Amino acid sequence: MTRSSKIISTPIVGLFLFFCCWTNMEKAAAEEENYIKYKDPKQPMNARIKDLMKRMTLAEKIGQMVQLDRENMTAEIVRDYKIGSVISGAGSVPRLKASALDWTNMVNYFQNGSLSSRLGIPIMYGIDAVHGHHNVYKATVFPHNIGLGATRDKELVKKIGIATALEIRATGINYAFAPLLAVCRDPRWGKCYESYSEDPKIVTEMTDIIYGLQGDIPNNVRKGLPFTGGKDKVAACAKQFVGDGGTTNGINENNTVIDWHGLLSIHMPAYDQSIIKGVSTIMVSYSSLNGTKMHANRDLVTDFLKKTLKFRGFVISDWLGIDKITYPPHSNYSYSVFASVQAGIDMVMVPYNYTEFIDTLTDHVNNKRIPMSRINDAVKRILKVKFSMGLFENPWADQTFVNKLGSQAHRDLAREAVRKSLVLLKNGENADSPVLPLPKNTSKILIAGTHANNLGYQCGGWTMTWQGLSGNNHTAGTTILSAIAAAIDPNTEIVYSENPDSEFVQSNNFSYAIVAVGEHPYAETFGDSPNLTIAEPGPNVINNVCGRVKCVVLLVSGRPLVIEPHIRSIDALVAAWLPGTEGHGIADVLFGDYGFTGRLPRTWFKTVDQLPMNVGDPHYDPLYPFGYGLTTNPIESS
């Protein structure tokens, strides 16, 4: 090659290299422009949150703070208003007796709306799950919390959390409003059956259900960080913060009068433990604390819960909870929105009038009554939970766990929980003449009472609907009568009468009678009771049966009831609480396949005039003390 040719080739090489470099830079710029950090699962969570938030408008941020009920909502509303969460309130279902497929299709319908929004932020879909996935047809309904408290078995409760999470995921839902951590200090309260115990130590131990719902928290996750591990888990919600179990006279949504030491020692410990265990969300109570509505209590929600206890998940309101800051409710909505958001509530359960809430909050921010920093804090917390759940990678409901809904394994677990929850209060006149266990092989027995053949009564409130139902056709399960029929010898004759008269009882030669009576279903304020009596005709059934034939009374109730007037005529008395769908667990123990092991999770009073009365109180004079429970040994199989 000549010298001149080398000189000519130099600029050609330079141009070629420049062109290559320019092309690569352009390609890199294009790739960078198309790269969206918050959608990259390899990026740290905080980096993803930061990237997403800097892209969000005020409208998109406020939309994330809204939770709507599915009723009358559309995917377009979710998309256009950038809604953060959708729920099914009690009884709000895709259709009557909806299947798991119906539920997953509905969840995906709303999820499609959220993912088709500008930023594609997935929704959380929430549902109450206070004793299993109880809104869903054929789901396993576990004993209410008062019964679980009687078991004293936190490992069992964790297993129930695991089963409940699987059944919730079977329907495509990813967010459960559970567990309730109230410490019920007065059984007149209509939510007392949702409380594990009057003893804060028991309630605190039962927070292990969070591990079941969300998964065991890894050692490298800091205290207070929300954690939900895997597609078989759901985000949990500790509720309702704080002191709702201590309201005056047990009146729901009323005022709790207590000093700081009492609040910290009785009502707060379970929340501290739930935060340590990684609970994703905490719901605020309707009730007041020393005259201040909890939905407007900045000192406790922001300063104590978030700053002192280091809770890093998000705080959610109760159903229309902010409306009740004022009286009458909704009478000064602008103030309610201001007070609740400033108090530290991050997501608001509207659940219907979303435009009013969005417009009101937007106005507060635009006029600098609520600082942008408060909105950013709320949204950051909500996104933290969503990223921790893996929603950005796996937003869709699928059919993976459909066969877990009401599975036999879960029903067996519920059956175990029932038999461990039963508390034997009386068993004959003395230890030398026990009535239980009952013989399976005898001539003729009487099964009586309103609750013997009524699955709805057996499950109580928060079952298929908010207030619960009567009857056997609303979901799948085994009544007490059916369970007894399956347990006894085929040659033993069963006579069932809901309300037999005394002549009928006397004219038949019954070997023994089993009487099942108690409370009709209720929830919340509808269950507030100043009298705590057995529902009619329960007392009449006891009077007509007991004293005329050897009788075992099963008290199916959400709390202790007035029983002292009847106790002398009753041969054996069992607190069965609200056992749920698996009546076989009662028969297991009545007939000695398993022994009685349950202990009272709360004090059984003599008269309502003694209330409130809790273990450790001065002048403690119960009919049956806290922790009481007779035991029996199982009958050995021959």
Share of the chain above pLDDT 70, in %: 95
Tell whether the torsion through CA atoms of 344, 316, 234 and 123 is positive or negative: negative
Residue 440 is encoded by which pair of tokens?
A: 């399976």
Check if the beta carbon of residue 229 is closer than 8 Å to that of residue 272: no
Q: Which of 490, 422, 481, 357 is nearest to 67 (CA)?
A: 357
How far is it, in rounded angstroms, from Cα 256 to Cα 246? Answer: 5
Q: Are residues 392 and 426 in the same domain?
A: no
On whether residue 23 sits in a domain, the answer given is no
Check if the beta carbon of residue 172 is closer than 8 Å to that of residue 103: yes
Share of the chain above pLDDT 90, in %: 91
Question: Average of pLDDT values for 212-234?
Answer: 89
Check if the beta carbon of residue 136 is closer than 8 Å to that of residue 171: yes
On whether residue 4 sits in a domain, the answer given is no
How far is it, in rounded angstroms, from Cα 234 to Cα 231? Answer: 8
Check if the beta carbon of residue 169 is closer than 8 Å to that of residue 610: no
Q: Which residues pair with 87 in a beta bridge?
A: 69, 126
How far is it, in rounded angstroms, from Cα 395 to Cα 107? Answer: 10
Give residue 5's pLDDT: 42
Q: Is the pLDDT of residue 220 over 80?
A: no
Q: Which residues pair with 493 in a beta bridge?
A: 444
DSSP 343-406: HT--BEE--S-HHHHHHHHHHHHHTTSS-HHHHHHHHHHHHHHHHHTTTTT--S--STTGGGTT
Indicate the helix (H) or strand (E) that contains 574. Answer: strand 572-575
Q: Are residues 293 and 393 in the same domain?
A: yes
26-49 pLDDT, tens digit each: 554 445 557 999 999 999 999 999
Q: Which of 340, 476, 459 is nearest to 67 (CA)?
A: 340
Q: Are residues 295 and 372 in the same domain?
A: yes
Give residue 631's pLDDT: 97
b/e for 588-622, b at 16 or more Cβ within 10 A?
Answer: bbbbbbbbbbbbbbbbbbeebeebbbbeeeeeeeb
Give residue 431's pLDDT: 82
Number of structural domains in the chain: 2
Q: Beta strand 423-427 with 572-575: parallel, antiparallel or unpaired?
A: antiparallel
Looking at the annotation, which residues are catalytic?
A: 318, 524
Q: Which of 161, 166, 256 is nearest to 211 (CA)?
A: 161
Give residue 14's pLDDT: 56
For the chain, how far is it from start to end, CA to CA, in angstroms? Answer: 107
Q: Which of 4, 7, 12, 177 is nearest to 87 (CA)?
A: 177
On whether residue 621 sits in a domain, the answer given is no
**Apex 538 CA angle, 535 and 540, nearest 5:** 125
Give residue 550's pLDDT: 97
Give residue 65's pLDDT: 98
On whether residue 630 sits in a domain, the answer given is no
424-474 pLDDT, tens digit each: 999 999 888 999 999 999 999 999 999 999 999 999 999 999 999 999 999
Give residue 18's pLDDT: 52
Give residue 590's pLDDT: 98
Question: Average of pLDDT values for 10-38?
Answer: 60
Q: Are residues 364 and 498 in the same domain?
A: no
On whether residue 122 sits in a domain, the answer given is yes
On whether residue 15 sits in a domain, the answer given is no
Residue 127 is encoded by which pair of tokens?
A: 């549902």
Question: Average of pLDDT values for 515-534?
Answer: 98
Tell whether the torsion through CA atoms of 323, 325, 331 and 332 is positive or negative: negative
Side-chain-facing half-sphere of 187: CA atoms under 13 Å: 25
**Apex 416 CA angle, 412 and 419, nearest 5:** 135
Q: Are residues 203 and 154 in the same domain?
A: yes
How far is it, in rounded angstroms, from Cα 88 to Cα 109? Answer: 14
71-121 pLDDT, tens digit each: 989 999 999 999 999 999 988 999 999 999 999 999 999 999 999 999 999
On whether residue 624 sits in a domain, the answer given is no
Give residue 8's pLDDT: 40
CATH number, residue 489: 3.40.50.1700
Q: Are residues 427 and 366 in the same domain?
A: no
Q: Are residues 443 and 399 in the same domain?
A: no
| Phi, psi of 100, rounded to the nearest 5 degrees | -60, -35
DSSP state of 141: B
225 — pLDDT class (breaks 50, 70, 90): confident
Q: Is the pLDDT of residue 4 over 50?
A: no
Q: For the chain, what is the total number of helices (H) and then of strands (E)?
A: 21, 17
**Residue for token pair 């006279």:** 249
301-336 pLDDT, tens digit each: 999 999 999 999 999 999 999 999 999 999 999 999
Check if the beta carbon of residue 402 is closer than 8 Å to that of residue 568: no
Q: Is the pLDDT of residue 22 over 90?
A: no
Q: Are residues 106 and 137 in the same domain?
A: yes
172-206 pLDDT, tens digit each: 999 999 999 999 999 999 999 999 999 999 999 99
Check if the beta carbon of residue 203 is closer than 8 Å to that of residue 184: no
Q: Are residues 496 and 540 in the same domain?
A: yes
572-588 pLDDT, tens digit each: 999 999 999 999 999 99
Side-chain-facing half-sphere of 217: CA atoms under 13 Å: 25
Q: Are residues 153 and 122 in the same domain?
A: yes
On whether residue 9 sits in a domain, the answer given is no
Q: Which residues pair with 427 in a beta bridge?
A: 572
| Phi, psi of 572, rounded to the nearest 5 degrees | -145, 135
- The type of residue at 319 is W
Q: Are residues 378 and 466 in the same domain?
A: no
Q: Is the pLDDT of residue 2 over 60?
A: no
Give residue 34's pLDDT: 79
Domain end: 372, 404, 436, which one?
404
Residue-range definition of the domain harbouring residue 281: 38-404
Query: How many residues in the chain?
Result: 638
E strands, 243-359, are 255-256, 281-284, 288-289, 292-293, 314-316, 348-349
| Phi, psi of 224, rounded to the nearest 5 degrees | 95, -15
Question: Average of pLDDT values for 214-219?
Answer: 90
| Beta-carbon count within 10 A of 632 CB | 17
Check if the beta carbon of residue 227 is closer than 8 Å to that of residue 212: no
Mean pLDDT score across all residues of the chain: 94
| Beta-carbon count within 10 A of 265 CB | 12
How far is it, in rounded angstroms, from Cα 453 to Cα 481? Answer: 5
CATH number, residue 53: 3.20.20.300
Q: Is the pLDDT of residue 563 over 90?
A: yes
Q: Are residues 384 and 459 in the same domain?
A: no
Using CA atoms, how far residue 42 sits from 39, 119, 446, in Å, is 9, 19, 66
15 — pLDDT class (breaks 50, 70, 90): low
**Apex 314 CA angle, 310 and 317, nearest 5:** 120
Check if the beta carbon of residue 395 is closer than 8 Å to that of residue 115: yes
Domain end: 404, 437, 471, which one?
404
